[in-house]
């Protein structure tokens, strides 16, 4: 397993930069915290010692949330200024050996693998890395292999989740190829993907990763039709913005990687967020990570709200795990200061999604108990506005294509969607802190379905927290309305879940 920690041998000339990144982050965070504290003290002046303590706790959390929100705005601006230069033309066969790798865990899609295997580059092989446990899935994989053009690799020990699956193949077959294309089980690439990826490598000889753009299939459930565009445009904005700022990363799929540099980095770090961890290791060694939006792939969006919650929970657990293990990255001068800042702020986003509602609820209780003004709405508006920044690309698209009212209604639904998983994030954080590890959850590929009561059971945590918060607010300060944020979280989750449960489930492609 690759560890994410600081390594010896840091050149003396880089030490000032090593100190600069965390100092700059802390300085900006301190300034924002001071502004929030000043606004809270001026507009909603505490009336007791407990109130001032609550302010001292809330201001740094809110300041950090403003900082991560500002990062989203910076990415939006950078994405608009991203290079529009024409991509390199696909080249003729160069003789390089390429393997397309499909890690699967009972989520095999024969149609996707079959079409993706039809590459124009003659040195391409396609391999299903099968970690499936269901006999029927293994039989379907073997049937596709029998058709020819596709191989299967199965390992004896299933450790390290997706990263371990990739490493097992590299250990056995890494000498047989020069580049690999890593895809998810439901991800499809066009026939010129490999050729175009090799053209990018020819253009950037020092690159370790050429990361393509990841689109979403828009057909299927109401949830997919509603939010598939949001996920795709957010990914495109991140790809373009990070490229413009020089902090491109490996997104875990839809990318071509140089085998020699990956092996030199110790392989894929066997963590839940192996993609971000590998990006750090490669950047430390001076390798470029290149964005290539012309390398297009297509994958499934989460099929319903339950699948989205599973996916988000996995992301939160992975972020907390990586934050704990990448502390040395903040003071490692081999990483550019901007990359270090982007890494930390990106990982903090889901953590703050859990912390901010809890902190504001606690602050409101103390304020009510001490007859002090509530949290200032002026600060709340700024906080909410920055929180909506990731929705801007899709909201603008809908305003242009469907009108302002449709865009506004979409923004409300999307804000409800992300609010609905705040407690999922809190649970994920607690799970990692208690167990000391993150779990790799496979996102469900079929809808949760079932009836209305089953939806209530799935969202039982949110309902229980909403009821508990209402009771606490009613007993402690006779203000049950202060629990409205948690009531809203539960209501949003139930609303999405009931809509999904009442909708006929589309047939799954095999």
| Residues 22-38 pLDDT 10s | 677 889 999 999 999 99
423 with 461: CB under 8 angstroms? yes
CA dist list (Å): 209 to 112, 113, 291, 361: 23, 22, 8, 43
At residue 506 the predicted structure's pLDDT band, cuts being 50, 70 and 90, is low
pLDDT at 490: 94
pLDDT at 253: 95
The tokens of 115 are what?
Answer: 């079409």
* pLDDT tens column, 250-266: 999 999 999 999 999 99
152 with 128: CB under 8 angstroms? yes
Give burial (CB, 10 Å; 0-12/13-18/19+) of 98: buried
122 with 99: CB under 8 angstroms? no
At residue 9 the predicted structure's pLDDT band, cuts being 50, 70 and 90, is very low
**The whole model's pTM is what?**
0.88
The tokens of 380 are what?
Answer: 């709340």
Domain boundaries, the chain: 13-81+344-502, 98-316
* pLDDT tens column, 158-182: 888 899 999 999 999 999 999 999 9
In angstroms, the CA 213 to CA 384 distance is 28
- More confident call, 336 vs 250: 250
Runs of H (alpha helix) within 174-304: 193-203, 222-245, 259-264, 274-284
At residue 448 the predicted structure's pLDDT band, cuts being 50, 70 and 90, is confident
Closest CA relative to residue 291, chosen from 233, 213, 232, 237:
213
* pLDDT tens column, 348-368: 998 999 999 999 999 999 999
**Sheet of 255-258, strand order:** 150-153, 124-130, 98-104, 179-182, 255-258, 207-217, 288-300
At residue 115 the predicted structure's pLDDT band, cuts being 50, 70 and 90, is very high
pLDDT at 295: 95
Of the listed ranges 27-36, 45-54, 217-226, the one predicted with least confidence: 217-226
State yes or no: pLDDT of 324 exceeds 90: no
In angstroms, the CA 409 to CA 390 distance is 16
At residue 8 the predicted structure's pLDDT band, cuts being 50, 70 and 90, is very low
pLDDT at 463: 94
Average pLDDT over residues 108-118: 94
Cβ-based neighbour number of residue 458 at 10 Å:
19
Average pLDDT over residues 90-117: 88
State yes or no: pLDDT of 462 exceeds 70: yes
State yes or no: pLDDT of 132 exceeds 80: yes
In angstroms, the CA 188 to CA 102 distance is 10
Classify domain 98-316 at the CATH superfamily level. Answer: Spore Coat Polysaccharide Biosynthesis Protein SpsA; Chain A (3.90.550.10)
The length of the chain in residues reads 510
The tokens of 510 are what?
Answer: 């095999």
Of the listed ranges 129-133, 211-215, 219-223, 415-419, the one predicted with least confidence: 219-223
20-48 as b/e: b if 16+ CB within 10 A: ebbeebeebbeebbebbbebbeeebebee
CA dist list (Å): 499 to 179, 195, 312: 44, 43, 19
State yes or no: pLDDT of 425 exceeds 60: yes
340 with 21: CB under 8 angstroms? yes
Average pLDDT over residues 63-68: 96
The tokens of 262 are what?
Answer: 């990956």
């Amino acid at each position: 397993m690759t560890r994410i920690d600081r390594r010896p041998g840091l050149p003396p000339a880089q030490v000032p930069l090593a100190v600069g990144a965390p100092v700059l982050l802390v300085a900006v965070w301190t300034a924002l915290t001071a502004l929030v504290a000043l606004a809270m003290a001026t507009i909603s002046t505490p009336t007791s010692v407990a109130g001032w303590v609550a302010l001292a706790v809330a201001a740094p959390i809110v300041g950090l949330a403003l900082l991560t929100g500002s990062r989203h705005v910076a990415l939006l601006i950078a994405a608009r200024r991203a290079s529009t230069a024409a991509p390199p033309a696909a080249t003729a066969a160069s003789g390089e050996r390429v393997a397309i790798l499909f890690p699967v865990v009972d989520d095999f899609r024969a149609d996707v693998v079959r079409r993706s295997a039809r590459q124009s580059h003659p040195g391409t092989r396609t391999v299903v890395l099968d970690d499936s446990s269901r006999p029927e899935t293994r039989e379907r994989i073997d049937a596709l292999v029998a058709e020819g053009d596709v191989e299967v690799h199965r390992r004896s020990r299933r450790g390290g989740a997706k990263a371990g699956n990739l490493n097992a193949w590299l250990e056995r077959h890494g000498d047989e190829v020069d580049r690999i294309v890593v895809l998810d089980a439901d991800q499809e690439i066009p026939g010129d993907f490999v050729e175009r990826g090799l053209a990018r490598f020819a253009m950037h000889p020092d690159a370790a990763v050429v990361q393509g753009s990841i689109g979403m299939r828009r057909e299927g459930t109401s949830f997919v039709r509603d939010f598939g565009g949001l996920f795709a445009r957010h990914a495109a904005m991140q790809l373009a913005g990070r490229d413009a700022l020089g902090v491109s990363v490996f997104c875990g799929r839809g990318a071509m990687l140089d085998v020699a540099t990956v092996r030199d980095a110790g392989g894929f770090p066997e963590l839940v967020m192996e993609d971000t961890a590998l990006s750090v290791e490669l950047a430390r060694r001076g390798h470029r990570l290149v964005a290539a939006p012309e390398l297009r792939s297509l994958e499934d969006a989460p099929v319903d709200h339950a699948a989205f919650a599973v996916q988000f929970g996995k992301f939160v657990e992975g972020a907390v795990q990586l934050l704990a293990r990448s502390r040395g990255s903040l003071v490692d001068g081999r990483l550019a200061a901007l990359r270090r800042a982007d890494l930390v702020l990106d990982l903090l986003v889901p953590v703050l999604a859990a912390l901010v509602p809890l902190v504001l609820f606690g602050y409101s209780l103390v304020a009510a108990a001490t007859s002090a003004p509530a949290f200032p709405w002026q600060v709340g508006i700024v906080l909410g506005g920055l929180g909506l920044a990731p929705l801007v690309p899709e909201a603008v698209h809908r305003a242009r294509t469907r009108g302002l009212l449709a865009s506004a209604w979409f923004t409300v639904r999307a804000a409800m969607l992300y609010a609905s998983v705040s407690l999922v994030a809190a649970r994920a954080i607690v799970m990692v802190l208690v167990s000391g590890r993150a779990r790799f959850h496979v996102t469900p590929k079929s809808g949760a379905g079932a009836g209305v009561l089953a939806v209530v059971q799935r969202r039982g945590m949110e309902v229980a927290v909403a009821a508990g918060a209402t009771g606490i607010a009613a007993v402690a300060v006779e203000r049950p309305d202060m629990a409205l944020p948690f009531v809203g979280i539960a209501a949003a989750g139930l609303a999405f879940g009931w809509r999904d449960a009442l909708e006929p489930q589309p047939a799954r492609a095999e």
